[in-house]
Amino acid sequence: MPRPDHINDLEDLRMQLSAEHTHFTKTLTFCGGTGCQASGSLSVIDAVKDVLSKEGLDKRVLVRVTGCHGFCEQGPIMVLEPGNIFYCHLTPDDAHDIVIKTVSKGEVIERLLYTDPVSGTKVGTEAEIPFYRAQDRQLLSQNRLIDPCSIESYIVLGGYRSLTKALTEMPPVAIIEEIKASGLRGRGGGGFPTGRKWADCWAAPGDEKYVICNADEGDPGAYMDRCLLEGNPHLVFEGMMIGALAIGARQGYVYVRKEYPLAVKHARVAVQQARELGLLGEHILGSTFSFDIEIARGGGAFVCGESTALMASLEGKVGEPRPKDVHTVVDGLWHKPTTLNNVETWANVPSIIMNGASWFASKGTKGSKGTKILALTGRVKNTGLVEVAMGTPLRTVVFDIGGGADNGRAVKAVQTGGPSGGCLPVDKFDLPIDFEALAEAGSMVGSGGMVVMDEGTCMVDVAKYFLAFLQDESCGKCVPCRLGIDRMLEIISDITEGHGRPEQITLLEDLAETVGETSLCALGKSARNPVLSTLRYFRDEYEAHINQKRCPAGVCKAMVEYAIDPEKCNGCGVCRRACPHGAISGKKKQVHVIDPETCRKCGICQSECKFEAVVIK
C-alpha cells in the first residue's frame, strides 16, 4: 500500500483500496468482540472459512471479522450482505449450512434466525430486530462495517477525512468553535462541555501540551468504551488527532484498562498501522502537524478514571487524585496543559467536524446534545449496547429496546451511572436521558451503565454492593472518603445483617451528605448517590430490614432461611451434590433436608434445583 505523503494522496489511496474489493459479491460479517469471542465466535469463523475455501467461494465471499455490535446476548452473531440476513447463537456445526444453503442458494435457515423474546416470532433481517430498530446508532453502526485490525477498512469507509478537513480548512479556533457549537459534553460521567475544555487548554500558556483518551472504563456494568476502542480504534484516534490539532498537542496517550485485553491489542495494532501510513508521526500527510499516540495499560484501580489520578498513573506513579485548584487543562500531565476526554467523547468528534455542529445539535435536548451509548444489562430480555438520542425516556430503553423483565417478575428500578449514580424507580421512567434531568432525580447519566433490577433485587443490598465497591476502590488519600464510606458500609451491613436501628437511617443520610460535600475527588463526592437515591425511593425496604428484620426481596442472607419443600422434592440429589458446604442430606428418590446449622445460606442449592423445591422461609 503506498504511503500517502500529501493530503490529496489519502483520497487516491481510498479509491485504490475501494477498487481492490470489487471482486467480492457477498460479505459475511461476524462479530469478533470480547462478548462474541466468549461465546465461541472464533471457532465459528474458522469453520465458515474452511467451508468457503472447500467450496471455492473464498475469492467471492468476504469474511469480515469486526468488533462488538453490542448485541452480545445473542452471540456469536453473523450478518450476510446483500440481504441483511441476521443469524445468532451460531456454532461451528452451522458453518456448512450457512455456506451451502444461505451463501450459495440464498435460502434462509429458520433455526438460526433471531427470535424476538417479546412477540416470540422469528425475525428475518437485522434491520427488523426490535432491539436495533428503536435505536439511533450513529457511532455503533460503524462497528459492523469495520475490521478493527485493518486501517484500510476504516479508510475505505471515509476514515481520516475529518482530519484532512480540519487540516486544510479549519484553523484551531474554528475547530474549537465547531465543537463548542455542537454542544458535545463529556461522555465519561462529568458531562463537562468538551469545547470549553479544549478552548481553555488552547488558551493555556506553554508549547508542550497533551491529549489523553480515558479508556479506563472502571464503572462496573458499563462497556461502551471497550466496544468503541476494540471495534473502531481509528475513529477514536481521529478524534484525538483533531483535538491535538486544535489545542496544539504533539503527543497523545490512550489509558486503557488491562481487563480489556482485546481493546489493548486492537489499539496497539491501530497505532502501528497509522504510523506505517504516516497518519501518526512527524508531518502527518505532508502537513506541519506532527502527533503520536502511546498506549498505556491501567492497573485495575477504579480511581484512575479520575483525571488527575489517571495522569499520575501515566507518569508511572500511584494513581491518587490531587486537588483541582488549577484545572488539568492548565496543569495536567507532567504539569503541562492537558485535554482529557473519554473514548466516546473522542469518537463523536470526527462526525461533528465532517457534518457540522448543527447536525450534531439537531439531536438531543436543550442541554444534552447528540446520541449516548448505554450499556443495558441486568434483568431485561434484551441486554447489550444501546445508542439513543439524548432525551429518550428511560421507559423506551428498558421496555421498547430492552423488552422488559426477563423472568416474569416486575421491573422495579434502573440503576444508572455506575457506582456514582443512583437507582430510579419505575415511576421515574418517563425521565429523559439528559445530564440535568437524571442529576435532579438523584442519579446521573454517568458513563451510561444501565442495570435493570426487578423484585428479586434488594435495594439495600444494591447500596451495600456499591459502598463495598467504593470502599475497596477509595485510594485512601482524603479522610471523608476513606473513613466516611467505611462507616456508611458498616451501617448498611448492620441493616442487612439484621442489627439495624431506626436512628441509623438519619445517621446514614448525614454521613452521605458529609462525604459528598467534603471528599477530594469525584469518587468520594458521588459516593452518596447510591445511598441517598435508594433511601429516597426505596425507604420502605430499609424500614422492613430494620423494623421487621425482613428482606422483601429475599436476598439478605441473615434474614432468610433455606428449606426444601417436601411436596416438590423428588430426591434427585442435585442440591446435595451442589452444596459446597455439605449441608444437605437425603437418600436417592427421597425428600432431602437442609441442616440449618451447617447451611451457609449461599443459595447455590436454589439456583441448581430444577424443580423449584428449594424455598426461602
Partner 1 sequence: MPDFNIDSILEGRRSQPHQLIEVLQDVQDAFGYLPEETMETAARELGVPPIEVYRAAHFYKAFSLTPRGKYVVTVCMGTACHVRGCDLLVDQVLGQLNVKPGETSEDGLFTLECVNCLGCCALGPTVVINGTYYHHMSPGKLRSLIEFTRRNGKEKIAHAQAGPHQ
> What is the contact surface with partner 1 in residues (CB under 8 A)?
32, 34-35, 37-39, 42, 65, 71-73, 75, 149, 217-223, 226, 258-262, 265, 296-302, 313-319, 375, 377-379, 383-384, 415, 418, 449, 451, 453, 457, 462, 465-466, 469, 473, 475, 574, 578-581, 600, 602-604, 607-608
Tell me the closest approach of the beta carbon of residue 157 to partner 1, in angstroms. Answer: 20
How many whole angstroms separate alpha carbon 130 and alpha carbon 117?
10
Provide the 10 A C-beta neighbour count for residue 108.
16
Is the four-CA dihedral 519, 522, 523, 525 of positive or negative sign? Answer: positive
- The secondary structure element, H or E, covering residue 373 is strand 371-378
Q: Which is nearer to partner 1, 38 or 507 (CB)?
A: 38
- The three cell numbers of residue 605 are 442449592
Q: Which is nearer to partner 1, 65 or 244 (CB)?
A: 65
Tell me the closest approach of the beta carbon of residue 602 to partner 1, in angstroms. Answer: 4
Q: Which is nearer to partner 1, 413 or 437 (CB)?
A: 413
Tell me the closest approach of the beta carbon of residue 473 to partner 1, in angstroms. Answer: 8
Tell me the closest approach of the beta carbon of residue 326 to partner 1, in angstroms. Answer: 21
Distance between the two ends of the chain, CA-based, in angstroms?
70
The answer to whether 586 touches 576, Cβ cutoff 8 Å, is: yes
Tell me the closest approach of the beta carbon of residue 70 to partner 1, in angstroms. Answer: 8
Q: Which residue has the cell 468457503?
A: 52
Tell me the closest approach of the beta carbon of residue 397 to partner 1, in angstroms. Answer: 14
Q: Which is nearer to partner 1, 312 or 511 (CB)?
A: 312
Q: Which is nearer to partner 1, 9 or 455 (CB)?
A: 455
Q: Which is nearer to partner 1, 58 or 455 (CB)?
A: 455
Write the CA distances from 345 to 4, 135, 242, 348, 554, integer angstroms. Answer: 28, 19, 12, 5, 41
Q: Which is nearer to partner 1, 102 or 313 (CB)?
A: 313
Q: Which is nearer to partner 1, 199 or 262 (CB)?
A: 262
Strands (E), 48-102: 61-66, 78-81, 85-87
Q: Which residue has the cell 468488533?
A: 67
Cβ neighbours of residue 471 closer than 8 Å, sequence gap 6 or more? 485, 486, 489
Tell me the closest approach of the beta carbon of residue 126 to partner 1, in angstroms. Answer: 17
User: Taking the CA of residue 574 as centre, how many other CA atoms within 13 Å lie in the half-sphere pointing to its CB?
Assistant: 15
Q: Which is nearer to partner 1, 387 or 473 (CB)?
A: 473
- The three cell numbers of residue 347 are 469518537
- Decide the pairing of beta strands 371-378 and 411-416: unpaired
Q: Which is nearer to partner 1, 35 or 252 (CB)?
A: 35
Q: Which is nearer to partner 1, 56 or 316 (CB)?
A: 316
Is the four-CA dihedral 264, 270, 276, 278 of positive or negative sign? Answer: negative
Q: Which is nearer to partner 1, 48 or 285 (CB)?
A: 48
- The secondary structure element, H or E, covering residue 310 is helix 307-314
Q: Which is nearer to partner 1, 215 or 285 (CB)?
A: 215
Q: Which residue has the cell 421515574?
A: 428
Tell me the closest approach of the beta carbon of residue 230 to partner 1, in angstroms. Answer: 9
Tell me the closest approach of the beta carbon of residue 223 to partner 1, in angstroms. Answer: 4
How many whole angstroms separate alpha carbon 180 and alpha carbon 353?
11
DSSP 410: P
- Decide the pairing of beta strands 210-215 and 338-342: parallel
Tell me the closest approach of the beta carbon of residue 273 to partner 1, in angstroms. Answer: 14
DSSP 3-state assignment of 420?
helix
Tell me the closest approach of the beta carbon of residue 110 to partner 1, in angstroms. Answer: 24
Burial 355-378 (b: 16+ CB within 10 A, else e): eebeebeebbbeebbbbbbbbbbb
The conformational region for residue 120 under phi > 0 = left, psi -120 to 50 = alpha, else beta, is left
- The secondary structure element, H or E, covering residue 516 is helix 504-518
3-state secondary structure 252-302: EEEEEECCCHHHHHHHHHHHHHHHHCCCCECCHHHCCCCEEEEEEEECCCH
Tell me the closest approach of the beta carbon of residue 608 to partner 1, in angstroms. Answer: 5
Tell me the closest approach of the beta carbon of residue 11 to partner 1, in angstroms. Answer: 30
